[in-house]
Every structure is written in C-alpha cells, then in structure tokens.
Structure 1
Amino acid sequence: MYKTIIIEDEQRIREALSIMLEMVAQDQIQIIAYAESVEEAVKLIDRLKPDLVFMDIMLQNGTGFDVLKQISFNSFHLIFTTAYEQHAINAFKYSAIDYLLKPIDPDELKTAIERIALLQERVLEKQQLTELQQNLSKTPDRIILPTQEAMYVVKLEQILRCETSGSYTTFFLNDGRKIMVSKPLKNYEDLLEPPMFFRIHQSHLINVNSIVSYSREGMVHMNDKSVVPISRGKKEQFFKLMKEEN
C-alpha cells in the first residue's frame, strides 16, 4: 500500500484523480494528504514521508520544482501531472521522469502505478530535475539513460547507434561506452528523430552523422566499425535521406 500525497491546486482535478485512483488501484493506494501550495506541499512531504507523490508542475504560488528544491525527505516515487504540449512531453521523456498528461486517462494511470511497483525505493536524482527544467525551456540536446547502476546524462551527438533486443536497448557512444537500458527501442524512437537519427531496421537506430559508408545492397558501415543492415522497408526512405544530406 503506497502512502500517497496529491499536490494539485485545482479542486476538480484533485477529486477526479482521487476517484480514478480508487477505481484502478484501490488495494495499492492510500491517499494521506492533499496540498495546493508550495509551502503546504513541502510541510506535508517532510512530515508524512509518503511513498508516492502526484504533483502538478504549476501550483498557486510557484512550481513543483520549488517543492522539490525545499523538501528534506525525497525517498518517494514521483509522478508529475501536466497539461503541457508535445515539446514538454518530450522533455519529460528525455529526462526519464514519469508523468501523466491532463486530462488524466484511467488506463495510463493504472499503467503508471504498475510501473512504479516494479521499482525499488526511489530517490529522484537532482540531475534529472535539472535536465527537465532545461529541456522545458529549449530543444533538448541531452538525454538521461537510467540503468540499475546509475543515471547517465548523454549528449545526443555522442550516440552512434542503438540496438534493441527484446525489452532492452543498448546505446553505443562515440567514446566507446555501451549503456544498456531496460526499455525497448520504440520508447526512444520519437526522441531520436531525423535528420540526426534514423530507424534503419527493427533492431537498429543510427546517428546519420556517424555513417562512414553504405551500399546499395543494404549495409551501413558506422565509424565504430560496426555494420548495420538496412531493412527492406526502410531502403527507399534511407537513400532519400542520404541524398538530401548530400
């Protein structure tokens, strides 16, 4: 049972989220408090020490970031709720921070609860929050890759290619590092987009700037000496992209 605090300054949204939580996770969620302001949220989190916090970004007298900067207790799962558009949604994804888009969908809420159930005790890294704030104000140029060992902050230009196997994706970087994350490649495809990146195969996504050569037969040679196949369905699109690049 997750002791839960809802931080939201709109009453109708607080009520709607409470009802949905009772519908989709009655046996998992115990709502122990509500907060509308930054000050109230900070006091409640430090005093009640919740397991889970739902937090709106924009509050009455500040933001969710203000709350996170002031709290002493931070050993809880955090799910932001936001009405932001696609640019901001991508910012959350780049920063590897969980979010729900308003109006909140019950199925997505249920999935979010199931997702945190798979995690151990979680402390949100300050680096993630810093990246999120930066990404909300500009076009992201870095991505956070969460693994069991650490949170890796990687510049997009450092990524040579990605290779997926089942529900795991390995990022190959230009400094020789390999970072494996427990998410399939489809989770990153909308973040690593053309013209810099191209999904060349069901199992491969490459940085176009790291191509050394390619053949009409459908093989791409990368500057890490790897050879990546072009799927039959991607050939025409790939050759068109290469023509445009030249």
Structure 2
Amino acid sequence: MMKIMIIEDEARIAKRIERMTRNFFEQNILAITICDSLQKGLTYIEKNTIDILLLDLNLNGENGFEILKSMVAGSFHTIIVSAYTDKAIDAFTYGVLDFVPKPFDQTRLSMALRRVTSVEKTTAGTMKYLAVKKAGHTRMIAVKDVLYVKGAGIYSELYLQNGQQELHDKSMEMLEQLLPGSFERIHKSYLISLDQAEKIIIRPGSSYSLLLKNGETLPIGRSRYKELKRKMI
C-alpha cells in the first residue's frame, strides 16, 4: 500500500496529479498528501514515512532544486514533475527516479510511476551522486567513489574506495534502480561496481567469489555467476 506525497503549489495541477496517481495504483494507495510549499513538505516528511514523492521544482518562487539533495537521501523514490526541463539532466545526476515534463498526460505519469515497482534501471543512467544523511546534515558522495553496496534490510551500506562506510536510507533494491549500468547485482546482498572487479574465483563445490582490485572478496550467487562471467569477459 503506497503512501504518496505531492509537493505542488498550483491546486489544479496537484489535484490532476492526485487523480492520475489514483488511477494508476487503484486500490493500492494508503494515503496521498498534498503540500503547496517546500517547507510544509519537508516538515511532513520529517514526521512521516512515504513511498513516493512527486515534486515540482518551482513553488511560489521557491527553488525545489535547492532541497533536492535532502529529498533523494530519503528512503522514498523522488519523481520530478516540472516545466523546468533544463534541470532534468542535473536532477538525474542526484538520483531522481524520473523527470516528467509539464504539460503531461496519464500515459507519461504512469510511465514514471511504473518505475517505482519495476526492477529495471532508470533509462537515464546518469546518476553521479548518492546523498546520505548524517547527524542532521546531507552529504553528497560521488558514485565513482563507491566500491560496492551491501544490503542491510530497509537500508544500504555503502563501501567506499577510501575505506569508509556510509549508511543510506534507501534499500539496495531501490539503489539498484538508480545506479549506472556499471553496477551489477552479484549476490542477494551485494551490488558491485564492475570497474572495481579483478576476477572470479571458483572454489570447490561450485562456490564462487569475486576478487576486487583492492584485495577484498565478495560472494557470488550461483544464479548470477554465468551473467557476471559473461560481462567480465
């Protein structure tokens, strides 16, 4: 059951987004909340959990792009609905799931909403930063500095090339949708940047491991061995 937030200052458009969203998810919606300002939206998100944020980038003169970093650090997926199409490329680099340009119709918004439940990666594949929250602040981590991602329940652990670790509020499955194609799921608990892979190690009993360039080894799921081998040739 989805909990959805719409941050849009034009009441007519907000209601249109709400109607189309209800048409798409039908009975699978628990609640839809509409806020007409960034501050109201931020306050609500601090106190409540949501699954999807539909965000406009220009609200009564407020620049929604200013708070995009903190939004994409959340546990939910963010979809931009905006006429500011020149901001689309930048939005994707921060890790939004989709950018729906105004004016839009049911087909285009449904395409974006369908990605929430899809296992496929976003078509943009241009994510360059991962935003993580720590001690009340949002820190931007370059994707190129991520060695691998380990699933930790509803969270993800980011292992960086400098040896540091960071906790991300999104699950590994959600990050898998957003990260570039160079990241490969090698195990139910590991998502690895293939740029950091050295070779596959085959152990007795048909057990497989991946040796990384830094000397670490990670397990490879049996069902993922053949595909990984093909991509590393």
Q: Does TM, scored on the shorter chain, surpass 0.5?
A: yes
Alignment of 1:25-64 (within 5 A): 25=31, 51=43, 55-57=55-57, 63-64=58-59
How far apart, CA to CA, are the structure 1 residues paired with 2:156 and 2:165? 10
Q: Which residue of 2 aligns with 1:221?
A: 211
Identity across the alignment (%): 15
Q: TM-score, normalised by structure 1?
A: 0.54
User: Which of the pair has more CA radius of gyration?
Assistant: 1
Shift of 1:223: 3.2
| Residue ranges of structure 1 left out of the alignment (5+ in a row) | 35-40, 58-62, 72-76, 112-136
How far apart, CA to CA, are the structure 2 residues paired with 1:100 and 1:141? 16
Question: Helix, strand or coil for the counterpart of 2:163?
Answer: coil
Which is richer in strand?
Answer: 2
How far apart, CA to CA, are the structure 1 residues paired with 2:41 and 2:225? 54
How far apart, CA to CA, are the structure 2 residues paired with 1:50 and 1:160? 31
Q: TM-score, normalised by structure 2?
A: 0.56
Alignment of 1:1-246 (within 5 A): 6-8=8-10, 11=12, 13-17=13-17, 25=31, 51=43, 55-57=55-57, 63-64=58-59, 67-68=62-63, 81-82=80-81, 92=91, 95=94, 103=106, 139-147=126-134, 149-194=136-181, 196-217=182-203, 218-243=208-233
How far apart, CA to CA, are the structure 2 residues paired with 1:210 and 1:157? 10
Q: Deviations over 1:142-196 (max 9, x none)?
A: 22233454322111211111111211211000111100123220011122243x2
Letter in 2 for 1:221: L
How far apart, CA to CA, are the structure 2 residues paired with 1:158 and 1:50? 29
Q: Deviations over 1:112-133 (max 9, x none)?
A: xxxxxxxxxxxxxxxxxxxxxx
How far apart, CA to CA, are the structure 2 residues paired with 1:50 and 1:155? 24
CA RMSD of aligned residues (A): 4.7
Which stretch shows the higher mean deviation, 163-172 or 217-226? Answer: 217-226
| Residue ranges of structure 2 left out of the alignment (5+ in a row) | 1-5, 22-28, 46-53, 73-77, 117-123
Letter in 1 for 2:187: H
Question: Helix, strand or coil for the counterpart of 1:225?
Answer: coil
Q: Deviations over 1:42-79 (max 9, x none)?
A: xxx79x9994597533xxxxx4595228x9xxxxx897
Is contact 1:7-1:55 (8 Å) kept? no
Q: Which has the higher contact order (CA 8 A, sep 6+)?
A: 2
How far apart, CA to CA, are the structure 2 residues paired with 1:49 and 1:156? 27
Structure 1 residues 220, 24: CA separation in 2 closer, same or farther (over 3 Å shift)? closer
Q: Which residue of 2 aligns with 1:134?
A: none
How far apart, CA to CA, are the structure 1 residues paired with 2:41 and 2:232? 54
Is contact 1:219-1:229 (8 Å) kept? yes
Structure 1 residues 80, 163: CA separation in 2 closer, same or farther (over 3 Å shift)? closer
Shift of 1:211: 2.0
Letter in 2 for 1:171: L
How far apart, CA to CA, are the structure 2 residues paired with 1:50 and 1:176? 32
Letter in 1 for 2:230: K
Letter in 1 for 2:229: F
